A and B are shown apart, each in its own frame.
Chain A
Amino acid sequence: MPTPDPLIEMRGITKSFGAVKANEAVDLSVAPGEILGLLGENGAGKTTLMNVLFGAYAPDAGEILVQGRPVTINSSADALAAGIGMVHQHFHLAPRLSVLENLLIGIPGKSGRIDRAGGLARLNEIGRQHGLTLDPDLPVSALSVGEQQRLEIVKALFRGARLLILDEPTAVLAPTEVDGLFSALRSMAAQGLGIIFISHKLNEVRALTHRCVVLRHGRVAGRVDAPASTTSSEMARLMCGHEIVPPARGPSTPGAAMLTLAGISTSRHSGMALRDVSLSVRAGEILGIAGVSGNGQRALAEVISGVRVPHAGQMTIAGKIVSRFSPREVQALGLGRIPEDRMTTGLVTNLPLADSMVLPRIGTDAFSRNGLLRPDAIRAFAEAQIKAYDIRCPGPMTRAGALSGGNLQKALLARELAFDPKVLIVSQPTRGLDIGAARFIHEKFLDMRARGCGIVVIGEDLEELLMLCDRIAVMYEGRIVGTLDSADATIAQLGLMMTGAEGTG
């Protein structure tokens, strides 16, 4: 499939931030019609490399060639002019504007007027060609995450992209949506577009890409010419530099119920409300909550965390009835929480890491006395956790926002587990984490399970849930449509239930 003249070529790209070499002498090329997988752990330099290609950073050394001609890319406008389009993890859309209006932002119209008819024709044409259909008049706020992503892809094609960069596009999609995305990408490649596909999920990379480049510590650690016939563990070894063995979930004997919800319903305040949700997690058990995002998982996590008061139903933690639904109450009853969004509801990025690590327990004797902080105790606690969890940072007084996602997740885990929670509520525990960090997080959950903690894992990655959980409940439109023993559950069955089909378990 590769042709002699590559669509795009990066030669010897080097980019440093201070003393850190984020990219060092990286070579990469994409031919027309080729889907290239870009693999690497967090901090391996994938994002930096793509930001260089898309014009967000100027490289310290190296050159970029588009169809054989050297170009300088200083901005996303330059990148678009060179035929490079990018679909970021966080979408860049105007939620109040319609699909068509979003498409036309920044496109010069005819004599000062927006060319709606022309835009509509192109939208329909692109949609027909690649199966990327969208209702042009719907506001973006009414689109699902998958549809918003589709719009981002259409936007890039609309602007004439010959090369499309997708940064972890499947992290936000349900399994059925992933299939749709893949068939669209294959169709684009068949028409001669080049695609760079960034992902942590090796099975996806193997299923989709023609060729892979693996980055490690900013350098090219290896190239895989036939991903389909290369095993996941081989690729993982290239990424991490050593063997990765998935943790084994041994048998456990669940004890008393640690968390129960009976008939919990919430008002439709923001997002999907809960409708008559009942579940129970026992000591030494991991319950998975599967579902396409936006089906009430957020409300469920908020109720359990004590930040949303349900208008009906009852919840108990470790046998005690939760009466006020305040974060302080559920925490005092023994709840630990790993939030979905580390940056907004977990940590305080602008303050020292140590502050974030003691935040939920700042009023307790461990860290303060008579209204005065105990700086030495806070520091000692943070230092001990940094050591115990191998959190990579210069020290406890480092600004939390300077840490990588994996290290932040470890810090959150450390802060919750240090106080031996009886129940742990976890959302998307490994989203955006690399294999090594994800493996570490999984091991910690299994440790907690063995020590008699009841764990609820809310997630979309079914493989992860099947590996980790004893039972999996599926949420659809605010209800639990069924609960399966993960021993008898299959991805196909769960995927079907996630679309609303009643479960059998």
Chain B
Amino acid sequence: MIRLEARTSTPAWFNLGLPLLAIGATLVLCSGLIALAGAGVIEAYGVMFSASLGDSYAITETLVRATPMIFTGLAVAVAFRAKFWNIGAEGQLLAGAVASCAVGAIPMPGPLAMLLMAVAGAAAGAAVALIPATLRVKFKVDDVVSSLLLNSVIFYALMALIEGPWKDSFSGYPISPPIEDSANFPGLLEGTRLHLGVVAAFLAAPVIWFLIARTTLGFRIRVIGENPEAARYGGIHVERVLISTALLSGALAGLAGVSEVGGVHFQVMSDISPGYGYSGIVVAMLARLNPLGVVPAALFLAAVMTGAEAMSRATGVPAFLSDVIQGTALLAMLVALLFTAYRIRRVGTAK
């Protein structure tokens, strides 16, 4: 018989080791599926690795892929720190994409256009996040449900836009008009898709870390998340801080959309996000809500996504395995987190 016993202290190496352990467990668990699909496990993972990290081009592709997930991962990490359960990063990303696309289509000097795209996208994301936050603060509506369901609302609003007013009148495709060429984010390296948004994402992580760890707003976010009653007694306006957190979280998710429009697609279409908003939840959990940890966690998921496509082409294993790995990684991490608070003890059977 085994059972869980509360830990009195958590070993320091756990914090670093747990995500690695969760990733390892995920790869082992998913190997069964690969075998079931009729491919060699070692070979399949080998293709995945070389296609995502094997050469410099593969690495740049993984970086480009990781960029929106760094933004959404940060968005979720910030929100979850305050126990604002923002499951709506997907919708906030889409809102950010639409707003930045609208701004980017207006002719104006490039740098100004990029700046305004970022501002508009962040504002749109923040505005969407404000809805579940306000519902929770004013009417105690569950934020998980409201932020999650809002994703569908935003998605279909986007569809209505690109099927309607934005529809390409020549081709008839449901895609928005492209943004101005001058508003395209500059590339960083000839022959790759690296763009300005990638740099912005890598800079955002330490900035958000600083905000959480070193500012009074960050302190208040941490405290209202851990113990809102003590925060209230301590003179913190819990509701106000929650709203600020939601705005920040939504703005970050909105920037993910801005970066995809300005740096990758230059327009909006229905599949502009293959669930980057939801992946942000996995990223944030793998990072244990640490903004600095969001970067490696996003890189891991990006590598899995790029690698899974190549693996699918090479071995015939369906590319959906990428989704399975993501889901398994989240579950593995949640299980791993249990062991920070509990340990397993083996006990004799009762008489």
**A interface residues (Cβ-Cβ under 8 A, vs B):** 17-18, 20, 57-58, 71-75, 77-78, 305, 307, 326-328, 331, 337, 339, 344-351, 355-356, 359-360, 362-363, 368, 371-373, 375, 402
In the complex, identify which listed stretch (B110-118, B222-230, B267-275) lies at the interface while the others stay far away: B222-230
Q: How far is the CA of A402 from the CA of B8 in the complex (A)?
A: 7
Q: A368-B216, A372-B214 are in contact. Are A355 and B229 (CB under 8 A)?
A: no
A-B contact pairs, 20 of them (CB 8 A): A18-B8, A57-B5, A71-B351, A72-B350, A72-B351, A74-B347, A74-B349, A74-B350, A77-B350, A327-B232, A327-B233, A331-B235, A337-B233, A345-B230, A348-B227, A351-B222, A359-B230, A368-B216, A368-B219, A372-B215
Please tell me the size bucket of the interface on B: 20 to 34
Which residues on A sit within 8 Å (CB–CB) of B229?
A: 344-345
Q: How far is the CA of A73 from the CA of B348 in the complex (A)?
A: 9
Q: A58-B345, A74-B350 are in contact. Are A349 and B227 (CB under 8 A)?
A: yes
Which residues on A sit within 8 Å (CB–CB) of B160?
A: none
> Which chain B residues (198-244) contact chain A, with CB distance < 8 Å?
214-220, 222-223, 226-227, 229-236
A401 CB, min distance to chain B CBs, angstroms: 10
Q: A355-B223, A368-B216, A373-B215 are in contact. Are A347 and B351 (CB under 8 A)?
A: no
Can you add 16 more A-B contacts, CB < 8 Å, to A327-B235, A368-B219? A74-B348, A307-B233, A331-B235, A346-B230, A348-B227, A348-B230, A350-B226, A351-B223, A351-B226, A355-B219, A368-B216, A371-B217, A372-B214, A372-B215, A373-B214, A402-B8
Which residues on B sit within 8 Å (CB–CB) of A356?
A: 230
B332 CB, min distance to chain A CBs, angstroms: 23
Interface of chain A, main secondary structure? mixed
Q: Check B232–A348 contact: CB distance below 8 A.
A: no
Question: Most chain-B Cβ atoms within 10 A of its Cβ — which of A18, A348, A373?
Answer: A348
Binary flags per residue of B316-351, CB closer than 8 Å to A gives 1, else 0: 000000000000000000000000000001011111
Interface: B189 (CB within 8 A):
no
Q: How far is the CA of A224 from the CA of B78 in the complex (A)?
A: 57
Which residues on A sit within 8 Å (CB–CB) of B56?
A: none
Which residues on A sit within 8 Å (CB–CB) of B351?
A: 71-72, 78
Interface: B171 (CB within 8 A):
no
Q: How far is the CA of A350 from the CA of B350 in the complex (A)?
A: 35
Q: Check B223–A348 contact: CB distance below 8 A.
A: yes
Q: How far is the CA of A68 from the CA of B17 in the complex (A)?
A: 48
Which residues on A sit within 8 Å (CB–CB) of B9?
A: 18, 402
Which residues on B sit within 8 Å (CB–CB) of A78?
A: 350-351
B8 CB, min distance to chain A CBs, angstroms: 5
Q: How far is the CA of A492 from the CA of B232 in the complex (A)?
A: 39
Who on chain B is nearest to A339 by CB? B233
Q: How far is the CA of A433 from the CA of B1 in the complex (A)?
A: 37
B210 CB, min distance to chain A CBs, angstroms: 9
Which residues on A sit within 8 Å (CB–CB) of B345?
A: 58
**B interface residues (Cβ-Cβ under 8 A, vs A):** 1, 3, 5, 8-9, 214-220, 222-223, 226-227, 229-236, 345, 347-351
Q: A351-B222, A355-B222 are in contact. Are A371 and B230 (CB under 8 A)?
A: no
Which residues on B sit within 8 Å (CB–CB) of A339?
A: 233
Who on chain B is nearest to A372 by CB? B215
Q: A18-B8, A58-B345 are in contact. Are A345 and B233 (CB under 8 A)?
A: yes
Which residues on B sit within 8 Å (CB–CB) of A375?
A: 214
Which residues on B sit within 8 Å (CB–CB) of A73?
A: 350
Who on chain A is nearest to B233 by CB? A345
Q: A326-B235, A360-B234 are in contact. Are A72 and B348 (CB under 8 A)?
A: yes
Who on chain B is nearest to A327 by CB? B235
* Shortest 9 CB-CB contacts between residues of A and residues of B: A328-B235, A359-B234, A327-B235, A360-B234, A348-B227, A348-B226, A368-B216, A350-B226, A78-B350
B133 CB, min distance to chain A CBs, angstroms: 21
Which residues on A sit within 8 Å (CB–CB) of B222?
A: 351, 355
Which residues on B sit within 8 Å (CB–CB) of A307?
A: 232-233
Q: Which of A20, A348, A371, A402 interacts with B215 by CB under 8 Å? A: A371
Question: Most chain-A Cβ atoms within 10 A of its Cβ — which of B214, B217, B219, B232?
Answer: B219
Q: How far is the CA of A305 from the CA of B234 in the complex (A)?
A: 10
Q: How far is the CA of A138 from the CA of B232 in the complex (A)?
A: 34
Q: Check B219–A373 contact: CB distance below 8 A.
A: yes
B68 CB, min distance to chain A CBs, angstroms: 29
Q: How far is the CA of A75 from the CA of B226 in the complex (A)?
A: 31
Q: Which of A349, A350, A359 interacts with B231 by CB under 8 Å? A: A359
Q: How far is the CA of A363 from the CA of B3 in the complex (A)?
A: 44
Which residues on A sit within 8 Å (CB–CB) of B8?
A: 17-18, 20, 402
Which residues on A sit within 8 Å (CB–CB) of B350?
A: 72-75, 77-78
B94 CB, min distance to chain A CBs, angstroms: 31
Q: How far is the CA of A73 from the CA of B349 in the complex (A)?
A: 9
Q: Check A359–B223 contact: CB distance below 8 A.
A: yes
Q: How far is the CA of A363 from the CA of B215 in the complex (A)?
A: 10
A472 CB, min distance to chain B CBs, angstroms: 26
Which residues on A sit within 8 Å (CB–CB) of B223?
A: 348, 351, 355, 359
Q: Check B347–A58 contact: CB distance below 8 A.
A: yes
Which residues on B sit within 8 Å (CB–CB) of A373?
A: 214-216, 218-219
Which residues on A sit within 8 Å (CB–CB) of B214?
A: 372-373, 375
Q: How far is the CA of A17 from the CA of B236 in the complex (A)?
A: 37
B77 CB, min distance to chain A CBs, angstroms: 16
Which residues on A sit within 8 Å (CB–CB) of B231?
A: 348, 359
Which residues on B sit within 8 Å (CB–CB) of A327?
A: 232-235
Question: Most chain-A Cβ atoms within 10 A of its Cβ — which of B5, B226, B348?
Answer: B226
B350 CB, min distance to chain A CBs, angstroms: 5
B236 CB, min distance to chain A CBs, angstroms: 8
Q: Check A362–B230 contact: CB distance below 8 A.
A: no
Which residues on A sit within 8 Å (CB–CB) of B217?
A: 371
Who on chain B is nearest to A368 by CB? B216
Q: How far is the CA of A74 from the CA of B8 in the complex (A)?
A: 20
Who on chain B is nearest to A378 by CB? B219
Q: A18-B9, A355-B223 are in contact. Are A372 and B232 (CB under 8 A)?
A: no
Q: How far is the CA of A58 from the CA of B347 in the complex (A)?
A: 8
Q: Check B230–A344 contact: CB distance below 8 A.
A: yes
Q: How far is the CA of A338 from the CA of B9 in the complex (A)?
A: 27
Q: Check A347–B220 contact: CB distance below 8 A.
A: no
Q: How far is the CA of A305 from the CA of B232 in the complex (A)?
A: 11
A382 CB, min distance to chain B CBs, angstroms: 14
Who on chain B is nearest to A341 by CB? B229
Which residues on A sit within 8 Å (CB–CB) of B235?
A: 326-328, 331, 360, 363
Which residues on B sit within 8 Å (CB–CB) of A74?
A: 1, 3, 347-350
B106 CB, min distance to chain A CBs, angstroms: 34
Q: How far is the CA of A349 from the CA of B9 in the complex (A)?
A: 13
Q: How far is the CA of A371 from the CA of B227 in the complex (A)?
A: 21
Q: How far is the CA of A115 from the CA of B256 in the complex (A)?
A: 61
Which residues on B sit within 8 Å (CB–CB) of A363?
A: 216, 235
